[in-house]
């Protein structure tokens, strides 16, 4: 009986070694795929950032014009600006208090 248990132990050791090699192969394959997906994702993010930067650059003059108009309006009507500011602060305070 001892001889059979030794034979099965050797067989189990071989199977464990074979499974370990297969597991290493799977890990390497997943690492390669992960690198590929990472590179693809990085390129896509770079493309989106480039497109966003181009759109922002195109819209910047209009944003500046509207900002100057808003600044001019605020200088002409300071009481209105103060009232709107108080309303915004009140809304924010109400939101913060209601969450607690």
Per residue in 49-99, pLDDT (tens digit) is 999 999 999 999 999 999 999 999 989 999 999 999 999 999 999 999 987
- The span from the first CA to the last CA of the chain, in angstroms, equals 72
Pairwise CA distance, residues 18 & 30, whole Å:
18
For the chain, give every domain's residue range: 2-99
| Whether the predicted pLDDT of 32 surpasses 90 | no
Q: Is the pLDDT of residue 4 over 70?
A: no
Q: pLDDT confidence of 13, banded at 50, 70, 90?
A: confident
pLDDT mean over 26-46 = 87
| pTM for the whole structure | 0.43
């Amino acid at each position: 009986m001892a001889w059979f248990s030794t034979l099965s132990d050797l067989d189990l050791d071989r199977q464990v070694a074979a499974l370990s090699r297969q597991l290493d192969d799977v890990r390497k394959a997943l690492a390669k795929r992960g690198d590929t997906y990472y590179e693809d994702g990085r390129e896509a993010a770079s493309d989106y950032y480039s497109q966003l930067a181009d759109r922002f650059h195109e819209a910047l003059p209009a944003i500046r014009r509207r900002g100057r108009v808003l600044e001019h309006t605020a200088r002409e009507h300071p009481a209105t600006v103060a009232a709107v500011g108080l309303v915004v602060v009140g809304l924010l305070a109400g939101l913060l208090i209601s969450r607690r």
